[in-house]
Structure 1
Amino acid sequence: MKKIYLYIIAFAAITTSSCQKDENIEIVDPKNSLLKISETYAIGSAAKVELWSNTELSTGHQNLFIALYDSVTNKAISTATVQIMPMMDMNINGMKMSHSAPLESPESINAINTLFPCSAVFTMPSNGTDGIWRMKVMVKKEGQSKFGLAEMPITVKQSNPERVRNITAADGTKLTIAYILPSKPKVGVNDFEISISRKQDMMTFPGDDSYTIVMTPEMPSMGHGSPNNVNPIHIKNGHYKGKVNFTMTGDWRINLELKKDGKTSSAFFDILF
């Protein structure tokens, strides 16, 4: 009887200690380090949709995050199919037209720490009433058979230096090349990443994996380049990764040669740090 009594005391002590440890765990909201861009409701899906990013929206590649909440209970939705489509509505001398941009919708139906990560490449800045961006978000919650639609106006600023290039390749293909990394350059070897998207039509810009890239960094003001660079190679979804070596701070230009079927196209990105 004495042994049983001691076991009960020991178990109670362990349980109390475990509970106290659980109570001391701080739950950090992943949105604390993000900026809310906009919010609205997905009509037909009974869901509130929030659009977040790690910075203000600007031209070029932009990491985005979708947060979903049940419109009745306001509880976070962790399982849903989410698709995004950025839309630019233009008014050119009275002629109205719309087009989309390169995008990557969330890959999984499961949220990561309550957020659905995605991205878009904004190819031009907002321009008053002559150029208005809006984000379409299609949501289908678990158990639903149809998508609900949310649309929200967004503002896209001009990046400086420019982080996106729209070019016509040597074979006539319209390409969008977006600078991604390094976001915070440092002296030494940096991870380098770009994305290449092909214009299929005004609404479709799939990633293009068909290019061989030769990268040549230079400092125009100093008249030299740098050694030990690694040319970007395709990873997935039109993303190419390599290494760029900055031997000093200052103004750098990263020259890119895009080679395909014996033809070469060129683009560059300027960096100052």
Structure 2
Amino acid sequence: MKSLIYGIIALFVVTSCTIDKTDYNAEIGSEVPDNYEFKEAVSFTSGNYKISIDALNGTFYKGYNELHLKIVNTQNNQEISTSAVTFLPIMSNADGSKSSCPHEYNVAYDSANKYYSGYSVFTGESTTTASWKLYISFTVDNQAYEINKDISVEKQSNKNLNMTAFTGKDDEQYIIALISPQKPTVSENPLVAGVYKYNKPTTPAGAFPDPSQFSYSEVAGYTLKLDPRMPEASMGNHSSPNNKDLTQQDDGLYHGVVNYTMTGNWTLNLIMMNQNGLILKGTVVPTDFTPGVEGVKSELYIDTLF
């Protein structure tokens, strides 16, 4: 249990730290990848059943991943639509500590699209010292099946799909992951993000992998105040008009508007407020126009580029 807790703490320490001064010139002109097609990212079998998971570009990326899962009876090639399916991603570190990430644990069947629909917000890339494994269970004809599979999580090269992890002033651990737009335009862009909180275990760990020790939930009723800026020195940290703060909608995600007035590096400066209007993370960004000086960022921010 101690190794689990230390692993989670280490994750948030690493992902919350800010990197050294950004080399904006090196990023100018970099191509924003288009990942619009869902392809099979992994497949495996259990008994007479094949399980396949589709993701954008057939790849699991650090950050938000929409996932489509299918179960097929290999004896008659029939797809299973009535099974109870669970999905649990777990990252293991070289020291034996384990942690998870925001995910859809009970995966529901989408009858219109004919797949089980879920998501996973992978909080780190696969490395020689950190590996990811999926733990999946399903039940068919009252027969339970459990299977696990090693997977590879790749670096997200599209900064418009960046994420951040941090501890709020309430001592809770949060993750914000950008979902849309994947490829912005010079205009007012609908902005969508997922906001998640780690559910601290209230009971001792059971048999591994005990989902109660790796649980996350969508944050309900918060507000993300938005102040986008172009932070590089040549841009003077200027902002743009007609932006809208992010609030939660019926799909559980947070929706707002970001107005990009030109291509280039942008920083989404954020202030996260709970249901009572209390600030849990984030600071106001100075309004001064500062040509020649790299712009000040909120203590809560996500960089983007297009």
Which of the five TM-score ranges fits, normalised by the shorter chain?
0.7 to 0.9
Aligned to 2:205: none
Query: How far, CA to CA, are the matches of 2:118 and 2:301 in structure 1?
Result: 25
Aligned to 2:262: 248
Query: How far, CA to CA, are the matches of 1:243 and 1:178 in structure 2?
Result: 15
Q: Is residue 35 from structure 1 mapped to residue 49 from structure 2 by the alignment?
A: no
Count residues with an aligned counterpart.
234
Query: How far, CA to CA, are the matches of 1:97 and 1:42 in structure 2?
Result: 27
Query: How far, CA to CA, are the matches of 1:268 and 1:147 in structure 2?
Result: 44
Deviates more, 1:32-41 or 1:193-202: 32-41
* Higher strand proportion: 1
1:152/1:107 CA distance change after superposition, 3 Å: closer
List gaps (5 residues or longer) in structure 2: 1-35, 201-212, 283-299
State the secondary structure of the residue aligned to 1:176: strand
Aligned to 1:193: 192
Within a 5 Å distance, the mapping from 1:1-273 to structure 2 comes to: 33-42=37-46, 46-55=48-57, 56-92=59-95, 96-105=96-105, 108-128=108-128, 130-141=129-140, 144-160=141-157, 161=159, 163-201=162-200, 202-221=213-232, 222-223=235-236, 224-236=238-250, 238-260=252-274, 261=276, 262-266=278-282, 267-273=300-306
Query: How far, CA to CA, are the matches of 1:263 and 1:254 in structure 2?
Result: 17
How many percent identity over aligned positions?
25
Query: How far, CA to CA, are the matches of 1:212 and 1:110 in structure 2?
Result: 29
Query: How far, CA to CA, are the matches of 1:243 and 1:111 in structure 2?
Result: 31
- 1:27-61 deviation digits (Å, cap 9, x = unpaired): xxxxx942211111235xx4210111113211100
1:107/1:68 CA distance change after superposition, 3 Å: closer
Kindly indicate whether the alpha-carbon contact (under 8 Å) linking 1:209 and 1:237 is maintained by their aligned counterparts in 2: no
Kindly indicate whether the alpha-carbon contact (under 8 Å) linking 2:221 and 2:247 is maintained by their aligned counterparts in 1: no
Query: How far, CA to CA, are the matches of 1:237 and 1:134 in structure 2?
Result: 27
1:122/1:236 CA distance change after superposition, 3 Å: farther
State the secondary structure of the residue aligned to 2:78: coil
Kindly indicate whether the alpha-carbon contact (under 8 Å) linking 1:59 and 1:123 is maintained by their aligned counterparts in 2: yes
State the secondary structure of the residue aligned to 2:220: coil
- 1:227-251 deviation digits (Å, cap 9, x = unpaired): 1111111125752111111111111
How far apart are 1:204 and its partner, in Å?
Answer: 0.7
Query: How far, CA to CA, are the matches of 1:257 and 1:35 in structure 2?
Result: 36
The TM-score with structure 2 as length reference comes to 0.71
Query: How far, CA to CA, are the matches of 2:270 and 2:164 in structure 1?
Result: 11
Kindly indicate whether the alpha-carbon contact (under 8 Å) linking 1:171 and 1:263 is maintained by their aligned counterparts in 2: no
- 1:110-130 deviation digits (Å, cap 9, x = unpaired): 5443322211000111112x2
State the secondary structure of the residue aligned to 1:225: coil
1:106/1:113 CA distance change after superposition, 3 Å: farther
Query: How far, CA to CA, are the matches of 2:224 and 2:92 in structure 1?
Result: 33
List gaps (5 residues or longer) in structure 1: 1-31
State the secondary structure of the residue aligned to 1:103: coil
Kindly indicate whether the alpha-carbon contact (under 8 Å) linking 2:268 and 2:302 is maintained by their aligned counterparts in 1: yes
The TM-score with structure 1 as length reference comes to 0.79
Larger radius of gyration: 1
State the secondary structure of the residue aligned to 1:183: coil
